[in-house]
Structure 1
Amino acid sequence: MDLRNIAIIAHVDHGKTTLVDELLKQSGAFRENQAVAERAMDSNDIERERGITILAKATSVEWNGMRINIVDTPGHADFGGEVERILSMVDGVVLLVDAAEGPMPQTKFVTSKALALGLKPIVVLNKVDKPDAEPDRALDEVFDLFASLDANDEQLDFPHLYASGRAGWADVELDGPRKDLTALFELIVRHVDAPRQQAARDQPFRMLATTLSADPFLGRILTGRVESGTLKTGETVKALSRTGDRIEQFRVSKILAFRGLTQSGIDLAEAGDIVTLAGMSKATVADTICDLSLDLPLPAQPIDPPTISVTFGINDSPLAGRDGKKVQSRVIRERLMREAEVNVAIKVTDTPGGEAFEVAGRGELQMGVLIENMRREGFELSISRPQVILREENGQKLEPIEEVTIDVDDDYAGAVIEKLTGPRKGELTEMKPAGAGKTRIVALVPSRGLIGYHGEFMTDTRGSGVLNRIFHGWAPHKGAIQGRRQGVLISMENGTAVAYALWNLEDRGKMFINPQDAVYEGMIIGEHARDNDLEVNPLKGKKLTNVRASGTDEAVRLTPPVQMSLEQAIAYIDDDELVEVTPNAVRLRKRHLDPHERKREARKAG
């Protein structure tokens, strides 16, 4: 069967996974009476809850005797490690752009990787049926984006379609019949080349492993595209590292291929197809699986380096062990090492003492998703404030810079620019009207300046602003950046919070806890209205007497507490604070310092 391998690229919430749903339906991948979940490709619980794609996944459809392998790529730069590996498996990309918003930062990130690999793009202007859609402007912006990313002449001469993924149609003309996605299927078959590997069927077998996962029945499994030759179930192959070292020799126990949303066992893997192999015990991502006669590995795509690090430690608070079952440092280390093996964008290193582990990755969202997965698995952790990873070149200290694109109501643009370019040391590069009373601001801001900024941004824009960020490059260190301005309210007692005490503390600042919540000495229960930390007693009850006086029977009316998400809590804390994460709770607390650490901190402070 003739093959086409394509990836779908889009910014978060531009309709990529919805379009794949329609491609699956219209190709006949589902039975007529089959119950299919919305956004079928987002199989992970967190993906469904947040409406974002985190893991790159493949599917396969048949259309008019042609097999089309479709790879759904994450739209967020934090999960770029998935993107860089997966693009090496395809021969063309479908770039999906919201006709109202135009190309956004994460579109730029993934597209730059695809164009650098020489892949042929097809542009689909999605959501053209929305009232604020401007497809012509969006198309011009896509061309400008390609030109700025040094696309070659063939890539700049891209075909485009107008579509509505939700309504399930794509047409060459804006006022076309709007019936189905036939125009998109035809364009993929016509514009994307057949895999060049199909001509190499007679050569020895070679495959580059791009994703690693585990199956409860098959064990360790690796997915990739067959670069040359064929492979039958039961044959013996070997795994080579990037440097050509032999890792292991193993017998292929199972070959799986994508058929619709499921993987089915096949007897023969052919050059050009995307398949999954089982039977290995050591081979991992970026290794070459090949015939026993070969000694040269396939070139693997380099992965962008991590930009932030977070320390994962055991939960040593007084409430430790009440919610989770996995609390030992050994168990936490095993889980992190497993994650680092599957996710090549993450690096894990042990800290002195062995009780904590430094995890380096792409961004706060990637770290937040990893921590969220671990807490759902029953882990209890303490998490430090994210630290930016610095480089040194020619004696000069460099730090990561991010390109921030903000769409905000005109009334709040001034406040946003003032915050970014003032205390956060950003540089404004572009500011233009975005229509409908909104302004688009583009600025280059140090990654350090963006840690903890999102909550402040939502407050400044009354929740109406949209902020997107992407790694831009490295630049000379810009000096000290002011952290959180407010101090915190710290519990001085162990016990259960009392409504009367919290009511009396409301003058001091905003609360993070509810009455009847368990608290302990050193736990952060609120934000102080001033810039210093304050120890308070949330257990202090009302003194009862038999003397009645005015004001004695005032009703206790509490302001609802600030409920922080996991990412907000991690971004909020200061260097001397930790986030305590359990399956049922996210708490903030002061870091416990042993006497030696106290002396070191005192010496640092002078």
Structure 2
Amino acid sequence: MEIRNVAIIAHVDHGKTTLVDNMIYQTHVLRENQEMGSLILDQNDLERERGITIFSKNISIFYKGVKINIIDTPGHADFGGEVERVLRMADGVLLLVDAFEGPMPQTRFVLQKALQLQLVPIVVINKVDKPNCRPEEVHEAVFELFFQLDATEEQLNFPTYYGSGKQGWFNQSLQPSQDITPLLDGIISHIPAPQVSEGPLQLQITSLDYSSFLGRIAIGKVQRGKICVNQPVCLVAADGSVRQAKVKELYVFEGLGKRNATTVEAGDIAAIVGLEDFAIGDTVADIQHPEPLPPLEVEQPTMHMLFGINNSPFFGRDGKYVTSRHLRERLMKETEKNLALRVEETESPDSFLVYGRGVMHLGVLIETMRREGYELTVGQPQVQVKIIDGQRCEPYEELVVDVPMDCASKVIDLVTRRKGTLLNMHTKGHMQRLEFEIPSRGLIGLRTQLLTATSGEAIMAHRFVAYKPWKGAIPSRINGVLVAKETGTVTAYALDKLQDRGIFFVEPGEEVYGGMIVGENNKPGDLVVNTNEGKKLTNMRASGSDAAAQIIPKRRMSLEECMEYIQQDECIEVTPSHIRMRKVILDAEQRKKQQKIMAPSE
């Protein structure tokens, strides 16, 4: 049977998952009466809520007697680790580009990885039905990008398809076709069949799955040889150690699920049950000739946060898993499948340093953990600093912001204040595209400010470039916070009297504790306030003073907004039901003493 292994890569929101939906419906993977809606592969709750792909997925379709294994990859830069490892299973890539936006920072990142692995590209220019789209200009920009990334002569000779995932057609011209069959024909004719070399079994584990019945399942492409059920194999780890194992069950991908198989030939993607203590990057090899494949290399994390147990007065109210042992086990389990994540133990047994690719990468981990029933506290995100040639260096990112022309000056002002440098500025339709180089530290909290300054019109994207010399202090939050004085329930009477002090994050009836952040001060510096004060009741009544309190609605903040908001002396308490910001030191007197100790050293 002929096989094609193809990965779909693109910048976030350029239409990868919608294209996969079209392929599924076109090849009748679903029954006639089975309606799955849109975004079929984004089944995770977080993916549905955020409208992005977070985890890569494998499916297969059959077209004209050829089995096409499709790998849907994430588009956001923070989940680049997912893309880097799953590209090893592919022989070609569909590079999806928005017909209006053109190549974006993440397009460059994923394309560079694909070209380095010598994968054969097909360019798909999507969303040509959008107003102001510019497919010819975008095609030239994609060619320029290939050239900049040192593509080979064969890779530069890529075929291009135009179409609309929403309308369900793709063609080599801008004339709409009936469906996406021209693109499927293109995959069969342009993407090569897997190259199979002679020799004993070799399969590199590039992905993990988990079943409550079968346990951990190893997924990878059979590079050479074949693998069979009940076959004794060797598991070669990254450190060179060799262990014997046995294949208990074998599966191949078929449609949206998996099908039992007795043998999987070279070139196909297999899911193996029965291996124990394996990690991503390990090689499943022949027991007589255990030859390992080159280890998987994933770019290192650029940001870290301190994860600790929840030690607030409300500890243990919501969560099932609250101890440091639970926290440690969960974080170590995450590192097995999340290659871009690293966990280090600290001097305290109750806290761990967790390294990731960015605020969203770490935010998705925290959000997943709280939904599983964990309680924890997390500190302010910090960038990873390195000493290179005796010089202190920090990560820099390429930042691209698309804004209406009248907002461009506000964006330039905000980014340059955070040590960003404007590299390029050009007009794209009725929008202005601004390209900056900025330290990763400058990005923390920038998205909220940009959206506020541009009335929600700014679209920003960024990708890691390199480590460069430290750029000095970056201005952080100007306003102080309002901190609760004592534990109790917030009253409308107290909030009404305090409303001129700032904006509140709590509302009447909520429980607070001493040291919890309940609002933002209108001025610099922190202010301790009593939000629990009740009205003194008397038998005297007055017509004006007894009117109902008019309370401004509280400001609601998402987990990522909280992560970008807090300062070094603050942290976030995360439980299944609540996200609360608080001071690291809850007692007001202790905080004052700490500030006096810290003052001379600054």
1:295 corresponds in structure 2 to 290
For residues 167 and 348 of structure 2, what CA distance do their matches in structure 1 show? Answer: 57
Question: Which residue of the other structure, out of 225, 236, 242, is the alignment partner of 1:229?
Answer: 225
CA deviations 1:179-225 (Å, max 9, x no partner) are 0111111111111111002x53xx21110000123211111211010
2:314 counterpart of 1:315: no
Report the Cα offset of residue 45 of structure 1: 1.1
Deviations 1:400-452 (A, max 9, x none): 00111111122221111111112x1111111111212x211110110111111
State how far apart, in whole Å, the 1-side matches of 2:168 and 2:586 are.
Answer: 59
Mapped contact 2:484–2:530 kept (Cα < 8 A): yes
Question: Residue 168 of structure 2 aligns to which amino acid in structure 1?
Answer: G
Amino acid at match of 1:586: I
Distance 1:598 1:276, change over 3 A: farther
Residue identity opposite 1:186 in structure 2: D
Counterparts of 2:505 and 2:297, CA distance in 1? 43
TM-score by length of 2: 0.97
Q: Is the 8 A contact 1:257 1:264 kept in 2?
A: yes
What do residues 343-372 of structure 1 show as CA deviations (whole Å, max 9, x unaligned)? Answer: 111111111121011100100001110001
Tell me the CA shift for residue 520 of structure 1. Answer: 0.6
| 2:563 is equivalent to residue 570 of structure 1 | yes
1:182: which partner in 2?
Answer: 181
Q: 2:421 aligns with which of 411, 427, 430?
A: 427
Aligned twin of 2:194: 195
Alignment CA distance shift 1:266-1:483 (3 Å): same
User: Is 1:368 the counterpart of 2:363 in the alignment?
Assistant: yes
Aligned to 1:407: 402
Partner of 2:206, secondary structure, is strand
Corresponding residue number in structure 2 for 1:281: 276
CA contact (8 A) 1:416 1:460 kept: yes
Whether the aligned pair in 2 keeps the contact of 1:242 and 1:298 (CA below 8 Å) is no
Q: Secondary structure at the match of 1:196?
A: coil
Match of 2:134 in 1: 134
Q: Show the 5 A alignment for 1:150-229.
A: 150-176=150-176, 178-197=177-196, 199-200=197-198, 203-229=199-225
Task: Summarize deviations over 1:79-115 as a string: whole Å, max 9, x none.
Answer: 1111111111111100111111111111111111111
Please identify, of 592-601 and 24-33, the stretch whose mean Cα deviation from structure 2 is larger. 592-601
Residue 295 to residue 235, structure 1, CA distance change in 2 (3 Å):
closer
Q: How many residues align?
A: 599
Residue pairs, 1:406-555, within 5 angstroms? 406-422=401-417, 424-436=418-430, 438-549=431-542, 551-555=544-548
1:353 counterpart residue number = 348
Distance 1:598 1:518 in 2: 25
5+ long unaligned stretches in structure 2: none
Structure 2 distance, partners of 1:164, 1:78, is 27
- Where do 5+ consecutive residues of structure 1 fail to align? none
User: Equivalent residues in 2 for 1:367-406 (5 A)?
Assistant: 367-406=362-401
Deviation at 1:593, TM superposition (A): 7.2
1:74 corresponds in structure 2 to 74
Distance 1:567 1:596 in 2: 28
Q: In 2, distance between residues paired with 1:299 and 1:593? A: 50
Q: Is the 8 A contact 1:243 1:297 kept in 2?
A: no
Matched residues in 2 for 1:487 and 1:138: separation?
Answer: 46
3-state SS of 2:32 partner: coil
AA partner of residue 228 (structure 2): K
Q: Which residue of 2 aligns with 1:97?
A: 97
AA at the equivalent of 1:113: K
Is the contact between residue 3 and residue 268 of structure 2 (CA under 8 Å) also seen in structure 1? yes
CA 1:305 to 1:598, structure 2 compared with 1: closer, same or farther past 3 Å?
farther
Tell me how large the CA RMSD over aligned residues is. Answer: 1.6
CA distance in 2, matches of 1:404, 1:434: 16
Residues 484 and 528 of structure 2 are in contact (CA less than 8 Å); yes or no, is this contact kept in structure 1? yes
Would you identify which runs of 4 or more consecutive aligned residues in structure 1 move more than 4 Å?
593-602
Q: SS of 2:562's equivalent?
A: helix
Return 260-269 or 136-145, whichever deviates more. 136-145
Q: Distance in 1 between matches of 2:179 and 2:264?
A: 32
Task: Show the counterpart of 2:41.
Answer: 41
Residue of structure 2 equivalent to 1:259: 254
Question: Do the aligned residues in 1 keep the contact of 2:585 with 2:591 (CA within 8 Å)?
Answer: no
Distance 1:300 1:59 in 2: 25
- In the alignment, the residues of structure 2 paired with residue 571 and residue 146 of structure 1 have an alpha-carbon distance, to the nearest angstrom, of 35
Determine what percentage of the aligned residue pairs are the same residue: 48
- Residue 276 of structure 1 aligns to which amino acid in structure 2? A
Tell me, yes or no, if structure 1 residue 327 matches structure 2 residue 326: no
Question: 1:271 is aligned with what amino acid?
Answer: A
Contact 1:126–1:163 (CA under 8 A) maintained in structure 2: yes
Q: CA deviation at 1:599?
A: 7.1
| Corresponding residue for residue 587 of structure 1 | 580
Is the contact made by 2:105 and 2:462 (CA closer than 8 Å) also made in structure 1?
A: yes
The letter for the 2-side match of 1:564 is: M
Q: Which moved more, 1:231-240 or 1:33-42?
A: 33-42
- Output the amino acid matched with 1:98: D
Shift of 1:592: 2.2
2:236 counterpart residue number: 240
What is the letter of the counterpart of residue 275 of structure 1? A
Bigger CA drift: 590-599 or 203-212? 590-599
Displacement of 1:24: 1.1
TM-score (norm 1): 0.96
**Counterpart AA for 2:134:** E
**Helix, strand or coil at the partner of 2:344:** strand
Contact persistence 1:399–1:477 (CA under 8 A) = yes
**d(CA) in 2 for partners of 1:367, 1:7:** 25
CA contact (8 A) 1:244 1:295 kept: no
Shift of residue 545 of structure 1?
A: 2.7
Counterpart position of 2:24: 24
Amino acid at match of 1:188: I
Contact map agreement 1:244 1:296 (CA 8 A) in 2: no
Instruction: Tell whether the 8 Å contact from 1:224 to 1:274 is kept in structure 2 after alignment.
Output: yes
Is the 2:422–2:434 contact (alpha carbons within 8 Å) kept by the matching residues of 1? Answer: yes
TM superposition shift of 1:470? 0.9
